Structure 1
Amino acid sequence: MDANTQGAFWGARPTDAGTDFALATAAEAERVEVCLVDPETKEQRCVDLARVDGPDGQATRWEGTVDGVAPGAHYGYRVHGPWEPDKGLRFNPAKLLLDPYAWAVSGSYEWGQEMHAYVFGDPERMDESDSLGHSMLAVVCEHVKYDWEGDTPPRRPYNETVVYEAHVKGLTQLHPEVPEHERGTYRGAAHPAVVNHLKELGVTALELLPVHQFIEDSTLADKGLSNYWGYNTIGFFAPHSAYSSSGDHGQQIAEFKDLVKAYHRAGIEVILDVVYNHTAEGNHLGPQLSFRGIDNAAYYHLVPGDEFHYTDYTGTGNSVNAGNPLALDLIIDSLRYWVTEMHVDGFRFDLASTLAREDGAVDMVSPFFELLASDPVLSRVKLIAEPWDVGPDGYQVGNFPPQWVEWNGKFRDCVRDFWRGEPGTLRELATRLAGSADLYEGEGRRPSASVNFIVAHDGFTLRDLVSYNEKHNEANGEDGRDGADDNRSWNCGTEGPTDDPHILELRARQQRNLLLTLVLAQGVPMMAHGDELGRTQQGNNNVYCQDNELSWIDWDHADSELVDFTRSLTKLREDHPVFRRRRFFDGTPVAPAEGDPLPDIVWLDADGSTMGPDDWDQDWAKSLAFFLNGGAVPGNGRHGANGDSDFLVILNAAENDVDYHLPAGPFPEKWATALTTCEARLVGEAAAGGEVFTVPARSAVVLMAEREG
């Protein structure tokens, strides 16, 4: 193991004689003990670490070697110091603290007074009850014995990437081909049946919801619910132990590595959804688990002038202070660890705006971004931002640095509005289909800066988006107060389940319409797990607390026709670079082998003419056609010297059929239907320039120019 993986080395590192321990704390800490704990008997042996003051007099390093401690040992820290919560100092040696740099975590928390540093009902008074026996424990681990078998990352460019967002447990808990004891685990997610499904689907990157060690929320546990999604991190280096089929004494590390290796063999990257914006310790009334008792003011944003309380940009009670060197080092070290030791290929940053906050404001030249840009390891992996938080000016879509790509919420909202029939959407729809140049081009970024999505883990599934007008979150126990109200959904005429064949056919077509728009738009498409299978959450748009059949993929009732259609879409995108351009359209004429030059993209009205300034904002206009010039795309060795094929895409969200006059003149003379969302149309159906081509109501069609011969 290269010590540089963890910077200057923090945490626990086994040696031939024992284990070296190192912990950074606030300068006010007076004593640090590392406590070796028998996980069965809860007996402990505590050893004092030596203090080494930093040159700036602020950060303090505590270190020492404990002989005879081998991999598999369990431990925690007790940090002594002043209890002055009004000054941001919350030291309490009665609380056994988790190592922020622990590579593996074992056990679970038992919620009660013991896990809180203050006395219930009197938050200014220190509680002296011991948390040992009620807390999770760090595990001493090593990596040198794992055989990666020559594993290498697929390293796909963004414009060739198709992302599949998935939950480790929900992906396989009901999969009939996965052995029962492996369902819902890393090993289950790495099962050949699952890997092959994603490969055949055309997925190039698996984006996993949080796999950093997270904990159950006591409030949810009291209701019999679960912190299912995992946005409640306590260990930024440790794979979540509950997803391990082989044990939680360090076995989870090798099992996660097996998952990465399996997907890399299939040519699929692994991206982690990471939650560095907050921790599981909550607000000033939350438990004392780790960071709060080590260096509260360094790890968290505290309210200026009122350091008893926390500044909350995340809606969770606390916000990590990435502007502080101690917290920033932890984040960077964690990211490097997951790339170098665990071989992951990138990260999606939850509420990424919080990480850019300096003195309360969002600063896109903050140290966090500068370090990532200059880091020789992290600057080479995929960096995806959820470009907002809940604080002031937190919505930052389009503002992240050049190395980043972003979840494009504007794409989601616009495409949902168009296909549910909202008026006045054509102008923005064209912008989103063309890669959202209004957001990204001005900063010199590319269309792939836009991660396009219509559905993600948070909100309706694709099937529920076309089946429900309202959220149905009764199972969450919050009387419907939770979850988004602005869903931009349409139930196609009936709320929820129905036997009406006309509504069922319309819903199936709407799902195909949405998927086609997603996959063939410029940018990086992201699908949510199970949407290609017709997955439903019965109208619940916030299953963060539902670890049951409501949130798991139901593989036994998969929509095989939708799966086949999705495969056809991703194959079309893979085969034709005109749908995944590296640069924005610029309207520049591109001369074909013969004939008049045509622009790289042409937006067309139903009469075959080019869209004029007054055509974009008519409320009655609910259909759009655009021509893609394959000659404007450099050849990729499969389409000859003139580059790619030419395409004509027609999207009709109107409730009536629309007759389109196929463009003539310099446009291709012959067309064939490459893909359609309407059963009334047949793939391969031919048409000629100048002919009337009827596009059925609420459907889409992709025409490909036929070449001579």
Structure 2
Amino acid sequence: MTLYKKHKKTLMREWKFNGDDFLSYPYYGGNDLGVTYSKTHTTIRIWAPTANIVELRIYKQSQGGSAIRIDQFEQGENGTWIINLHGDLNGYFYTIRVNDNIGWLNETPGIDAKAVGINGHRGLIFDPEPTNPEGWDDDKRVHCDHATDAIIYELHVRDFSISPSSGITNKGKYLAFTESGTLSPDGLKTGVDHLKELGITHVHLLPVYDFFTVDEQAPHETYNWGYDPQNFNAPEGSYSTNPNTATRILELKMLVQALHKAGIGVIFDVVYNHTYHTRRSYFNQTVPGYYYRQKSNGTFSNASGCGNEMATERGMVHKFILDSLYYWATEFHADGFRFDLMGIYDLETMNQIRARMDSISPSILLYGEGWTADKSPLAETWRAVKTNVSRLYRVAVFNDDFRDGLKGNGFDPKSKGFVSGKTIQEENIKFGIAGACFHPQIVYGYVEHSKSPWATEPWQCVNYASCHDNYTLYDKLVLSSPEASEEEISRMILLAGALVLTSQGIPFLHAGTEMAYSKQGDHNSYKSADEINQIDWKRKKTYNQIFQYYQALINLRKTHPAFRMISADQIRKHLIFSSDYQPGVASYMLVNHANEDKWRTILLVFNGTRQPITFKLPDRIAWRVVARDTTINLESTKYISETEIEVSGISMLMLVED
């Protein structure tokens, strides 16, 4: 129930609510919310159970001007309101305004809008057929037999192409992904050709739904990652060549189609945990209070750290999220979804998302951040936090234990990790190597964040060294190791990549890491300039050794199933950690054709110290050297017969028994 006070003879909303009142709101289970278009008529249905009048306004343009037509909705079943309009309204804009007995709320496109005009303030009525590119019916998702087969590459649409060094024409746009043959000033591949050359299986796109803080009329004047949601079902217009029309839908589909033709899946980053505005959000301007959790005093709770959090456990919030994901998965042929601050979501919603996606394709990947940014009034036992991952069905979470063990705490620029020479990180590293699953040889008391395994199977664990948040891997290593030479920093990046890409679980790479991506030390670049965030393609030549090493690691992982086992039982059966402890060193063997690998035995030694070490080898095995120092060669013919071997500082050694 909303409380109000009088202020200068006008009723002002206190925006305080009793959450128990929402239990009496009716549930609508239909699949026709939003705009349904045909050339002869258009139907719009919204859910607004507290309304007593709902008004529709039609406009010729997306901004300014007066409505050319004003109509009222009729009350429908289960809290819905519906209106039928005759004639072809393709290309017209609309807003919806709700009166809830207290007064008129703001005009909005409605929460279900699938197309909007400039800056998302008015909805667009559109014919969906022309938004399909040629050949769209034949577009196919990238199929993964197992989630652990995926190699994910996190990327911001604008960062990918905006640099003058990208050689791409449609800089900062969806269409940049449709260009081929693009080259850096040094003649090296850029764009999608670079992604194919690198070998990753999936691109994870930072948010591409309509977000608030970039002016779509002048997109180069501001920048944002996109974690400021406005219209969840409409593509962002600043990445389109014509944001005032349904072209933004067509061009995003062209991006997906181009990546699919390159054999690369597309994962959408989704942010159903909060909205940019709270009181002025389109949710609160439709059904005040319902879509958000409240504190005991009736004010909005804030587990997102952004001013609010969505009440995913409430029936129509739950339905909105499932319907939205179904739309993105079917209309845009999504290959997966990454959930921002997934620890805000309730477990039942996440598991029903998995079931809904399975009805489309079981290969759709689902993963997210298993934490929140602040406290939530919903008890942790019911939320999709990292410690509850065993209660999630085929949904993975990020392994921050491994991340911080590799490079140090992301919020402290001076802290070091395993690859930068800090010892007593070995159990953190073993934790990641085993995909956060239980392994009897891990001493969990020495794992920094988690004192017990939280994954029951490796496909519940996403291993990574860096992502869009905090410092890039290169910047973090430079800041934490100011005494290190550029060569040593490069070797640290190689070692971090080696650990991520040979460990069990799902590997995740931050775009540009393979060429020492730098944001000039900016640790929170969510609204920084392009000069900070852009991928500088000239670095591909400068750090080509890193690129080639990551390329070889990806090929190794794709070629050898031992590095992507599909169960924790397999890991415990085939992965044996070395009992010969050396500070700053992690080593293990994969034995007996792990996961039906053609190699019988694989020995890996990771030396995080700057000094060479001597490693004793098991007897009676003819070892072939596959990786040593900065080189990986799967076809190597070099064998060693010694009983011990020197492992260089900051490097991975890999020996195999064929």
Determine if the TM-score, normalized by the shorter chain, exceeds 0.5. Answer: yes
* 1:141 lines up with 2:126 in the alignment: yes
Q: Which moved more, 1:317-326 or 1:521-530?
A: 317-326
1:547-599 residue CA offsets vs partner (Å, 9 max, x unmatched) = 311001011232222211111110111111111111235687xxxxxxxxxx6
Amino acid across the alignment from 2:309: S
Sort the Cα spacing of 1:551 and 1:297 in 2 relative to 1 into closer, same or farther, 3 A. same
Give the alignment partner of residue 600 of structure 1, picking from 574, 580, 601. 574
Give the secondary structure class of the aligned counterpart of 1:330: helix
* 1:44 lines up with 2:41 in the alignment: no
Judge conservation of contact 2:337–2:365 (CA < 8 Å) in 1: yes
Sort the Cα spacing of 1:530 and 1:271 in 2 relative to 1 into closer, same or farther, 3 A. same
**Equivalents in 2 of 1:633, 1:372: separation in Å?**
26
Q: How does 1:287-436 map onto structure 2 within 5 Å?
A: 288-306=280-298, 309-356=299-346, 364=347, 366-370=348-352, 372-373=354-355, 376-377=358-359, 380=362, 381-392=364-375, 393=380, 396-400=385-389, 401-416=392-407, 417-436=417-436
Task: Look up the match of 2:526.
Answer: 544
Q: Percent of pairs identical after alignment?
A: 24
* 1:232 lines up with 2:255 in the alignment: no
Task: Look up the match of 1:631.
Answer: 593
Task: Look up the match of 1:269.
Answer: 265
Give the alignment partner of residue 114 of structure 2, picking from 103, 106, 112. 103
1:477-527 residue CA offsets vs partner (Å, 9 max, x unmatched) = xxxxxxxxxxxxx22416xxxxxxxx0111111111111111111111110
Q: How does 1:173-192 map onto structure 2 within 5 Å?
A: 173-174=162-163, 176=165, 178-180=167-169, 182-192=170-180
1:226-272 residue CA offsets vs partner (Å, 9 max, x unmatched) = 45100011111101011112443110101111111111112211000
Sort the Cα spacing of 1:543 and 1:41 in 2 relative to 1 into closer, same or farther, 3 A. closer
**Equivalents in 2 of 1:492, 1:517: separation in Å?**
23
**Equivalents in 2 of 1:657, 1:444: separation in Å?**
34
Judge conservation of contact 2:354–2:395 (CA < 8 Å) in 1: no
Judge conservation of contact 1:648–1:703 (CA < 8 Å) in 2: yes
Judge conservation of contact 1:533–1:562 (CA < 8 Å) in 2: yes
Sort the Cα spacing of 1:371 and 1:491 in 2 relative to 1 into closer, same or farther, 3 A. closer
Q: What's the CA shift for 1:679? A: 7.2
Amino acid across the alignment from 2:655: L
Task: Look up the match of 1:498.
Answer: none
Amino acid across the alignment from 2:291: Y
Task: Look up the match of 2:210.
Answer: 213
In structure 1, stretches of 5+ residues that fail to align are 1-5, 84-90, 109-134, 357-363, 469-489, 495-502, 589-598, 605-609
Give the alignment partner of residue 510 of structure 1, picking from 467, 479, 492. 492
**Equivalents in 1 of 2:234, 2:194: separation in Å?**
28
Q: How does 1:84-95 map onto structure 2 within 5 Å?
A: 92-93=104-105, 95=106
**Equivalents in 2 of 1:549, 1:582: separation in Å?**
41
Q: What's the CA shift for 1:152? A: 1.2
RMSD: 2.8
TM-score normalized by structure 1? 0.77
Judge conservation of contact 1:448–1:524 (CA < 8 Å) in 2: yes
Task: Look up the match of 1:243.
Answer: 239
Sort the Cα spacing of 1:328 and 1:682 in 2 relative to 1 into closer, same or farther, 3 A. closer
Task: Look up the match of 2:93.
Answer: 74
Task: Look up the match of 1:18.
Answer: 41
**Equivalents in 2 of 1:422, 1:681: separation in Å?**
29
Task: Look up the match of 2:160.
Answer: 171
Task: Look up the match of 1:478.
Answer: none
Q: Which moved more, 1:376-385 or 1:508-517?
A: 376-385
Q: Which moved more, 1:457-466 or 1:6-15?
A: 6-15
Task: Look up the match of 1:34.
Answer: 56
Q: Which moved more, 1:382-391 or 1:579-588?
A: 579-588
In structure 2, stretches of 5+ residues that fail to align are 1-28, 183-190, 408-416, 439-449
**Equivalents in 2 of 1:685, 1:492: separation in Å?**
39
Give the secondary structure class of the aligned counterpart of 1:436: coil
**Equivalents in 1 of 2:631, 2:596: separation in Å?**
34
Q: What's the CA shift for 1:683? A: 9.1
**Equivalents in 2 of 1:269, 1:694: separation in Å?**
40
Q: What's the CA shift for 1:682? A: 12
1:145-185 residue CA offsets vs partner (Å, 9 max, x unmatched) = 424141111121212100000000011111646543x1111
Sort the Cα spacing of 1:685 and 1:657 in 2 relative to 1 into closer, same or farther, 3 A. farther
Judge conservation of contact 1:278–1:316 (CA < 8 Å) in 2: yes
Sort the Cα spacing of 1:427 and 1:213 in 2 relative to 1 into closer, same or farther, 3 A. same
Give the alignment partner of residue 702 of structure 1, picking from 647, 650, 654. 654
Q: What's the CA shift for 1:460? A: 1.2
**Equivalents in 1 of 2:569, 2:638: separation in Å?**
28
